[in-house]
Structure 1
Amino acid sequence: MRSPRDFFLPLAIGAPEPPRVIPPLASRMIHFFDPSNARMVGKLPALAPTVDVLLGNLEDAVEIDNKEAARAGLVEVALTVDLGTTSLWARVNALDSPWILDDLTDLVLQAGEQIDVLMLPKIQGPEDIHYVDRLVAQLEARAGLSRPILLHAILETARGVANVEEICLASPRLQGVSLGPADLAADREMKTTNVGGGHPGYLVRADAVNGEYDAPRVTAQQDLWHYTVARMVDACRLAGIQPYYGPFGDITDVLACEDQFRNAYVMGCVGAWTLHPKQIEVARTVFTPDPDQVAWARRVVEALVDGAGAVMIDGKMQDDASYKQCQKILAFADLVAARDGTSRDGAAGSEG
């Protein structure tokens, strides 16, 4: 058992101190790219201003013969491509793969000052985070890094979901958690082949009227991921880190992608993965607070001043709980405004 007093001490001599607070930064879209694809890499300078996070992918979408080229390509991007204020993340290979050790070693030693977050796939329990935490600290010490690299876990196994609270609390360098619906569906043996999104067979049907069971009845498709997203959000908020929805695989169905992203946003997620440029604007729209909601939140906060008591606004009772909800909306709107260079109402320029 580790003493709480030691939790924020470096795990290697000479490594930077772990962060005590994860900096709250807008990360509405985590946009994936293949670092071994020269054409894709060539578009990064123009793409960077349109996204909050660019993520170099070394894992599943990269063919085995391309693993080393992707790793070298990501180091090259980190060292030579000007991404402005856009964060650079890396998704490394799984901890049981033959590439993970070289992924971590090369990325930290060669590009550790440029890479903000290492995304870790198929995390099963806190022991996985402990392993990477110690190893990255040793590599940081060797590289002489001035700041710690953060970690991000992907929730894509049944065991990972069962251990999500322990995972979120495993290290002070953990930045957040993303839902990985496709791998999770396979591990759970769910009867779907979609990458995220719903399934037409997962629905509820209105009761029969007057015993007419064969008559047409209204049906509504349910959200396959509601339970998992809710549990992930709770675990992340417990640990003071950020929850994200993962990929939506049907690139052509922009409307359904927006629905799935919005479900996650309403439930507390701060962003989602984008796999194609057309999903970038979807994520921006969904994970940017609506100006009307922001204006309402400001009215409530201004009316309650310090959150005490209760007031009626437009026939609706507002009290301390309303005040807290609205403060969260305004805080998130400020993060997004800082990233986009607008006021929290969506107008250009800073708020007076």
Structure 2
Amino acid sequence: MSQHVVPARLNRSQLAVPGSSPRFIEKAATSAADVVFLDLEDAVAPPDKEAARRTVIAAARDVDWGDKTLSVRINALDTPFMYRDLIEVAEGAGERLDLILVPKVNSAADVHLLDVLLTQIEAAVGRRKRFGLELQIETAEGLVNAEAIARASPRVESLHFGPGDFAASVGARTTSIGGAVPDYSMLGEPDVNGLRALYMGDPWHYVLARIVVACRAAGVRPIDGPYADFKDPLGLEWSARRAAALGFDGKWAIHPTQIEALNEAFSPRPDEVERAHRILAALAEAETAGRGAVVLDGKMIDAASIRQAQMMVEKARRVGGA
């Protein structure tokens, strides 16, 4: 199957904002986040959801969002709030709203439903551009179907890992959201003094790897979920570096203080960009000289290295660091 062709959006940092708070919404519009999503789900208590819906619609229409990507997270399909969220937001938010973020997506059928409804809404209101979909993988069923979900509609732009709900779905013994799980560890062999080192593992590595592969195969963006302890900048940094190393494009920020670290973690480092340019320059020189082999710093450069360099330079260009 062919990949989707999705809009090229920076998605290094995605700031979550309660949809019930005009003050926080206005602050988010001036933040350095690449993407802002106005939340109608977890951040809003059930009695306040109807009012928050109106607040979000007004904010999408009236607030100056500059060049940010704007998204709204609706409630999950298995809740009584979903259909009003989708219909009222899609009909009323205007052309400035780019994406709809949907939690707890379990199957391609969920995406098909969203696609049909949005297509009819767009036709009814005369919308000029198509809504994109951001889909959260937060359950065991959703992960099993991640590949099909990523390919379910041309509207799909990204899959997002939801660590808290996923942990609950699989019965993991943790209350951490995005942080370490100390019990997921192994003891090393005793040293000469009988002491044994404790090596912590990453309980979410399989989940993250499966999501990133599903996304890259479908041509959509993989986005990591939140790191809940916003007073732990070092933990956030390494959580983001782990995700970036695996191939994720970005990560959620649940507090504005996390944005800068995420933008940095998911942007190419200057030394990476410099080496990528050197690889491409060495390739050009070899082609001009009629040489088939490319050597840089005493090492052979193969086709995979060249593709990696091209991707690095393109990403740096998009973030203004080329």
Q: Normalized against structure 1, the TM-score is what?
A: 0.86
**Amino acid across the alignment from 2:316:** A
Is 1:37 matched with 2:21?
A: yes
Match of 1:325 among 296, 299, 308: 308
Residue 317 of structure 1 and its aligned partner are, at CA, apart by: 2.7
CA–CA distance in structure 2, aligned partners of residues 45 and 23 of structure 1: 21
SS for the counterpart of 2:20 is coil
Q: Which ranges in structure 2 are unaligned for 5 or more consecutive residues? A: none
Q: Which ranges in structure 1 are unaligned for 5 or more consecutive residues? A: 8-18, 338-342, 345-352
Structure 2 match to 1:103: 85
Structure 2 match to 1:254: 233
Structure 1 match to 2:108: 126
SS for the counterpart of 1:269 is coil
Is 1:82 matched with 2:82?
A: no
Q: Once the two structures are superposed, what CA deviation does each residue of 1:32-59 show, in whole Å capped at 9, x if it has no partner?
A: 1112113213323432xx1111110000
Structure 1 match to 2:210: 231
SS for the counterpart of 1:250 is coil
For the 8 Å contact 2:13–2:34, the answer to whether it is kept is yes
For the 8 Å contact 2:15–2:28, the answer to whether it is kept is no
For the 8 Å contact 1:289–1:329, the answer to whether it is kept is yes
CA–CA distance in structure 2, aligned partners of residues 58 and 75 of structure 1: 11
For the 8 Å contact 1:304–1:319, the answer to whether it is kept is no
**Amino acid across the alignment from 1:184:** F
Residue 20 of structure 1 and its aligned partner are, at CA, apart by: 5.9
**Amino acid across the alignment from 2:302:** D
SS for the counterpart of 2:30 is helix
Is 1:198 matched with 2:177?
A: no
CA–CA distance in structure 2, aligned partners of residues 159 and 45 of structure 1: 35
Structure 2 match to 1:299: 278
SS for the counterpart of 1:152 is strand
Q: RMSD of the TM alignment (CA)?
A: 1.9
Residue 60 of structure 1 and its aligned partner are, at CA, apart by: 1.2
For the 8 Å contact 1:118–1:149, the answer to whether it is kept is yes
Q: Once the two structures are superposed, what CA deviation does each residue of 1:228-284 show, in whole Å capped at 9, x if it has no partner?
A: 111111100111100000111111111011101111111110011100011111101
CA–CA distance in structure 2, aligned partners of residues 297 and 181 of structure 1: 33
Deviates more, 1:316-325 or 1:71-80: 316-325
For the 8 Å contact 1:24–1:335, the answer to whether it is kept is no
Structure 1 match to 2:197: 218
Aligned residues, how many?
Answer: 318
SS for the counterpart of 1:43 is helix
Structure 2 match to 1:151: 133
Q: Once the two structures are superposed, what CA deviation does each residue of 1:110-131 show, in whole Å capped at 9, x if it has no partner?
A: 1141110101100001000001
Is 1:137 matched with 2:119?
A: yes
Is 1:264 matched with 2:243?
A: yes
Structure 1 match to 2:42: 60
Deviates more, 1:165-174 or 1:31-40: 31-40
CA–CA distance in structure 1, aligned partners of residues 281 and 186 of structure 2: 42
Residue 314 of structure 1 and its aligned partner are, at CA, apart by: 2.0
Residues 317 and 197 of structure 1, relative CA distance in 2, 3 Å threshold: farther
CA–CA distance in structure 2, aligned partners of residues 325 and 38 of structure 1: 42
**Amino acid across the alignment from 1:274:** A
Is 1:114 matched with 2:96?
A: yes
**Amino acid across the alignment from 2:228:** G
Residues 45 and 122 of structure 1, relative CA distance in 2, 3 Å threshold: closer
Residues 168 and 334 of structure 1, relative CA distance in 2, 3 Å threshold: same
Residue 309 of structure 1 and its aligned partner are, at CA, apart by: 4.0
Q: Once the two structures are superposed, what CA deviation does each residue of 1:52-101 show, in whole Å capped at 9, x if it has no partner?
A: 11110000121111111111111010111011111110110000111111
Is 1:310 matched with 2:293?
A: yes
For the 8 Å contact 1:309–1:319, the answer to whether it is kept is no
Residues 20 and 153 of structure 1, relative CA distance in 2, 3 Å threshold: closer
CA–CA distance in structure 1, aligned partners of residues 114 and 245 of structure 2: 32
Q: Normalized against structure 2, the TM-score is what?
A: 0.94
CA–CA distance in structure 1, aligned partners of residues 292 and 237 of structure 2: 37
**Amino acid across the alignment from 1:24:** A
Residue 288 of structure 1 and its aligned partner are, at CA, apart by: 1.1
